[in-house]
Structure 1
Amino acid sequence: MRQRVITAVVALAIFLPILYVGGIAIELTAAALAGVGVYELFRMKGLAVLSFEGVLAILGAVFLVLPAERWFPFLDASSNFLLFYLVVMILLGISVISKNVYTIDEASFPIVASLYAGVGFQNLVVARSEGIAMVIFAFFIVWATDIGAYMVGRKVGKHKLWPDISPNKTVEGALGGIASAVIVAVLFVLVQSNLFQQNLLTMIVFTIVFSIVGQFGDLVESAIKRHYDVKDSGNILPGHGGILDRFDSMLFVFPIMHLFGIF
């Protein structure tokens, strides 16, 4: 527990100023986090990230995260996905060069790894471009869900939510997480009434969706780790595991918030 607290304090001391500054600082940080996320996926699968597919996968994630209008001004402002698709074309093209020694099956993993890490952290950058309060709102929703699910599940949890994937999670805990997220969202919306275009009732409905999506993102990460038979996605954060362990819910919540027009 002591190690977890120390790591959390140090991580927040580094991340919060970057989040406050925004701009290039958060863009580079998000790109680095996406790259580490790809590395962790390769590590779990037992692949070398310092390989042609590993380097291309990280490059693809970075292309998705860094805003084209700032980092690739010689291209159209919406070129991020085209640059990513260039990486996809190269990976698929290797099947031709290798005469199908390297096939589409092998190419699919680095492509999915890039999308998973890249799109999630891309939307963190987009949210921050709308203001720091928007990012804090998303973090509060996820943290409230996690804390509520843990506390309620520990107290009254009896019915397993998805035992084949995450045996400790319960239905009662999941509902407690949703309720906690709604309470926090209502307080946040009341304090920041000018932040959202949606009314309070709509935001409550959206928050329920975000909480469910965040919990599902957590389960997806658990499924990946169970598939590869690893406890944590990495060890970059002592006591907490890897970057994907800490951002698994965020990688799902930020894109859905964007899709719903919250930012």
Structure 2
Amino acid sequence: MTTHPRHTRALLYVARHCVLIGVCLALLLPLLLIIGMALMPDDEALGNNLLPHHIDWSNFGRVIGLFAFWRYLANSLLYSGLSTIGVLISSLPVAYALARLNWRGRENVMLIILATTMLPTAVTSVSLYSVYVNLGWIGTLKPLIVPTFFGDAFSIFLLRQFLRTIPQELIDAARVDGASELGILLRIIVPLAKPALVAVALFNLVGTWNDFFAPLVYSGANEEAWTLSVALSQFTQLQRGALYNLQMAGTLLLAAPILAVFLFAQRTFVDGITLTAAKR
């Protein structure tokens, strides 16, 4: 008995989507457990229950009230916001020079920039810490923000690849009309590179918002300089108890802003990645 091609395609369609649904459920399971723990009352949080029998929405308000939530949130916003601005301002001109200006040694410089991405963070941590100690920046947000205004290798590479997809004729026409390189960058490149800029901004926002190592190291013992991720890691110690439900509620509060930003800009983000990958 032979199977009709239409039936075969239908079975393959169902099988493929069943696999995708199973993978999505597996990926969402940790999030569902976090939400369940965040909504548990205190007595259930210390038990073996995976889901709450009684939902306690007040856990989110308790997290905000038990420690300086708004101060740590402001530090995270300051760190992520200024870092993203710094990366965009510093990386775009470098990417434009590497993609659209002809000068000797351009490819060698690009190789050196890419080589810096191969250095693990642990290799440069001690030397950078010594520099920031001498500058008196330890215990502040300066070591987290100031370096971003000197460029980021991955962002430069991503923007360079995108800028290479822009037709050279547009740039040549602007030069013929007397536009300066800065004018070309601001009036032609920036509007056309919006998807790539959004992609770079989102990559940096997610990275800095979730960053734990650098804020923990450079903030030192100064609690005023803690970001929200560092403060939540110290939440149990600060409150002298195993408040797992409140920790999970704080985790959801930490993830909510960046999730909202990603959902709002996801279409532009995907366009930026797709168009960048199209140029090889």
| TM > 0.5 | no
- TM-score (normalizing by structure 1): 0.28
Q: Which has the higher contact order (CA 8 A, sep 6+)?
A: 2
The structure that has the greater radius of gyration is 2
- TM-score (normalizing by structure 2): 0.27
